[in-house]
Amino acid sequence: MTFQELILTLEKFWADRGCLLVQPYDSEVGAGTFNPSTFLRAIGPEPWNVAYVEPSRRPTDGRYGDNPNRLQQFHQYQVILKPAPLNIQELYLDSLRALGTDPLQHDIRFIEDDWESPTLGAWGLGWQVWLDGLEISQFTYFQQCGGVDCKPISGELTYGLERIAMYLQDVDNVYDLEWNKGVRYGDIWKRSEWEWSTYNFERADVELHQQFFDAYEAQCTRLLSLSDKRGKGGVLVYEREPLDRLVLPAYDCVIKCSHYFNVLDARGAISVTERQRFIGRVRHIARATAESWLAQREALGFPLLRDPSAPADASSAAASSPSDL
């Protein structure tokens, strides 16, 4: 199975189970979780079932294309089922069967792995899924996003596409993977890995990235009309009503800040003491964005909840027309 066949199989599998197929986000993200289709949609009461590929950047994991297993950009396949159906583990195992992996011919185990994103103020409980000792997926029940309690609970399935493909194609080096018949992973990405590793570790302009960080943080605060003041019990104060806040552009600023932080980190420009402060700053605007999103959806009457007669299965979200959003 080629890399692109792997993607196509998963797309087909989850589309058949009622998921919306959306596309990767057009900004630098560290994981599929950052895509607004996960981070924002996991908040609030509206059902949401979605699947997409997410090219994910981890600047510190770069190895200049020398390491057979580590990349500064890799591909996740991300599935969100909200609320997580009770048979979510079975659905996941069925997706492995669709990839030609018979659980009886392997050792598949669900090993505890709780997930936390300190920058997003998000955490969940779940597992890493082992296929013959190889971690092929992350499986998480979101408990909080941007500091907001999730209810209902989303189930997040994240497939590590390169790892799964290496397993299926029986290769030891990621660059030897067949993207399709004829073009290898290395043909497409090897030079990219070298350039980005060099950029992230050596060339990225530290001062410029610090300015980017500050600027996007300030922009985010303005877009949300977030006040410097705090209310009782530390609650955040906004100067505008929820529908007057530009939540989606604000969330892009959160993504940018998180990414520039990662680059500065790879560049060795963040000391141990500064680190916590940077993380706290991103978390703060992530929280404001999450709260604003929830308030805005509420002000809109939670559009995806609108038709109570629709069956509460995965197809209800897919049935909603764009004008409802």
Partner 1 sequence: MPRELLIEVGLEELPASFLAQALSSLRSAAEELFTSARLTPESIETLGSPRRLALRVRGLPDRQPDRQETVQGPPWAAAFDDAGKPKNGALGFAKKQGVEVDALVAVETERGKYVAANVFEPGRDAAEVLPELLAGLCARITFPKSMRWGEGTFAFGRPVHWLVGLFGTEVVPFEFAGLVAGRTTRGHRFLAPQTFDLADATDYEPKLAEAHVIVDMAQKKQRMHDALVAAATQHGGVLSPDDFLLQECTSLVEEPFVVPGTIAEQFLELPDAVIVSVMRDHQRYFAVRRPDGSLLPTYLNVVNTALAPEVIAKGNDRVLRARLADAQFFVREDRKTPLASRLTRLDNVTFQTKLGSVGDKIRRIDALARALAPAAGVAVEQASQAALLCKMDLDTLIVFEFPELQGLMGRHYALAEGLPAEVADAIADHYKPTGASDEPAPTALASVVAVADRADTLVGCFGIGLVPTGSADPFALRRATLSLVRTAVDGAIDVSITELLAAAYDGFPAGILGPRDEVLAQLDEFVRARLRAFYRERFPGDVVDACVAAWPGASIRDVAARISAVDAFRERPEYEALAVAFKRAHNITREIPRGEVKDALLEAGPERELAEAWRGARARIAAATASGQYQDALAVVATDLRGPIDRYFDSVFVMVEDEALRQNRLSLLAEIADTVSQVAHFHALST
| Six-digit token string for 69 | 């297993």
Please report how close the Cβ of residue 70 comes to partner 1 at its closest, in angstroms.
8
Q: Using the rule CB under 8 A, which residue among 12, 97, 109, 230 binds partner 1?
A: 109
Instruction: Compute φ and ψ for 169, nearest 5 degrees.
Output: -90, -5
**Piece of the chain touching partner 1 by CB under 8 A; list 49-57, 84-92, 176-184, 201-209:** 84-92
Q: Would you give the binding string for partner 1 spanning residues 271-310, x where CB under 8 A is met?
A: xxx-------------------------------------
**Distance between CA atoms of residues 210 and 257, nearest Å:** 9
Nearer to partner 1, 84 or 250 (CB): 84
Segment interacting with partner 1, rule: CB under 8 A, options 49-57, 99-107, 214-222, 285-293? 99-107
> Phi/psi at 117 (nearest 5 deg)?
-115, 100
Q: Six-digit token pair at 28?
A: 């630098």
Q: What minimum distance in Å lies between the beta carbon of 127 and partner 1?
A: 6
Position among 29, 79, 80, 153 found at the interface with partner 1 (CB under 8 A): 153
Closest by CA position to 35, among listed 25, 44, 48: 25
| Site for partner 1 contains 56 (CB under 8 A) | no
> Is 69 near partner 1 (CB under 8 A)?
yes
Written as six digits, the tokens of 222 are 């303005």
Concatenate the DSSP letters of all residues of 77-124 into one string: EEEEEESPPTTHHHHHHHHHHHTT--GGGS-EEEEE--EEETTTTEEE
Per DSSP, the chain holds a count of helices (H) and strands (E) of 9, 11
Contact between 147 and partner 1 per CB under 8 A: no
| Interface with partner 1 (CB under 8 A), residue from 9, 27, 67, 169 | 67
Give the residues across from 230 on adjacent strands: 236
Query: Taking the complex as a whole, how short is the minimal distance between the CB of residue 278 and partner 1, in angstroms?
Result: 17
Examine residue 143 and tell whether it contacts partner 1 (CB under 8 A).
Answer: yes
**Residue 287 DSSP SS3:** helix
CA geometry: angle 183, 185, 188, nearest 5 deg: 80
Distance of alpha carbon 205 from alpha carbon 218, whole angstroms? 20
Residue 81 parent element (H or E): strand 73-82
Please give, one letter per residue, the 3-state secondary structure of 149-176: ECCCCCEEEEEEHHHHHHHHHCCCCHHH
The binding track of 155-194 with respect to partner 1, each residue x by CB under 8 A or -, is ------------x----x----------------------
Cβ closest to partner 1, residue 26 vs residue 112: 112
Query: Should residue 103 be labelled a site residue for partner 1 when binding is judged by CB under 8 A?
Result: yes
CA atoms of 235 and 292, how far apart (whole Å): 12
Compute the least distance from the CB of residue 168 to partner 1, in Å.
11
* Nearest-10 crossing angle of helices 161-169, 3-16: 120
Distances (CA, A) of 89 to 8, 27, 151: 21, 31, 20
Out of 127, 185, 212, 213, point to the residue binding partner 1 (CB under 8 A): 127
Q: Which of 18, 24, 55, 83 binds partner 1 (CB under 8 A)?
A: 83
* Complex with partner 1: residue 89 or 221, whichever CB lies closer: 89
Interactions with partner 1, residue window 235-274 (CB under 8 A): 271-273
The residues of the shown chain that bind partner 1, judged by CB under 8 A, are 67-69, 83-86, 89, 103-112, 114, 124-125, 127, 131-134, 141, 143, 149-153, 167, 172, 271-273
